[in-house]
């Protein structure tokens, strides 16, 4: 070996102690090459507990999203946390279809803790709105705080999804 050149194993050995000393570690996601920062207890910093009102269901979870359904007198709220993409859109779709299966006049998707949504998630939301309209029920997306999700709705002309229905 030439002077001043390290082998691959030397580099890997030198990196290992640095990652073990830190407060975070990488948790491999479901998609190849993707990782997510986790604290030493295995909790993602972007994960937040969703506190729900009266009767929440057990949360449905994937590596990137959590969905909790809450039944109130006049509406069902489906609170979503994380990222909605091709891998997690079915989770959202299942929860929203189940909400529409009941007889509550209003269904809302709470996106206040959604950091990302792609066209797969948008397709689910548009399909649910169509289904709700055909049943004579109200559906909207509440609490959109992510700039990325706001831009998605603006660019696709679907900001009406975020407009609450008239009482």
Which neighbouring-strand residues pair with 69?
Answer: 78
Residue 51 has pLDDT above 70, yes or no: no
pLDDT in tens, 114-164: 999 999 999 999 999 999 999 999 999 999 999 999 999 999 999 999 988
Q: What is the pTM of this model?
A: 0.64
- Copy the structure tokens of residue 92: 């959202």
Q: Over the range 86-97, which residues count as b (16 or more CB within 10 Å of their CB) and which as e?
A: ebbbebbbebbe
Neighbours of 140 (CB within 10 A): 17
CB-neighbour burial class of residue 64 (10 A; exposed 0-12, middle 13-18, buried 19+): buried
- In this prediction, residue 62 carries a pLDDT of 58
Q: Phi then psi for 138, rounded to 5 degrees? A: -100, 140
């Amino acid at each position: 070996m030439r002077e001043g050149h390290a082998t691959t194993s030397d580099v890997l050995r030198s990196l290992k102690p640095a990652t073990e000393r830190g407060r975070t570690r990488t948790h491999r996601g479901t998609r190849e090459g993707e990782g997510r920062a986790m604290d030493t207890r295995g909790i993602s910093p972007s994960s937040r507990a969703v506190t729900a009102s009266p009767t929440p269901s057990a949360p449905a979870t994937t590596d990137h999203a959590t969905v909790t359904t809450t039944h109130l007198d006049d509406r069902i709220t489906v609170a979503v946390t994380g990222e909605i993409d091709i891998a997690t859109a079915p989770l959202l779709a299942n929860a929203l279809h189940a909400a529409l299966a009941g007889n509550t006049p209003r269904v809302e998707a709470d996106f206040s803790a959604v950091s990302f949504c792609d066209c797969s998630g948008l397709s689910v939301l548009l399909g649910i709105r169509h289904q709700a309209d055909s049943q004579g029920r109200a559906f909207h997306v509440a609490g959109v705080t992510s700039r990325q999700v706001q831009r998605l709705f603006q660019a696709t002309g679907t900001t009406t999804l975020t407009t609450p229905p008239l009482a």
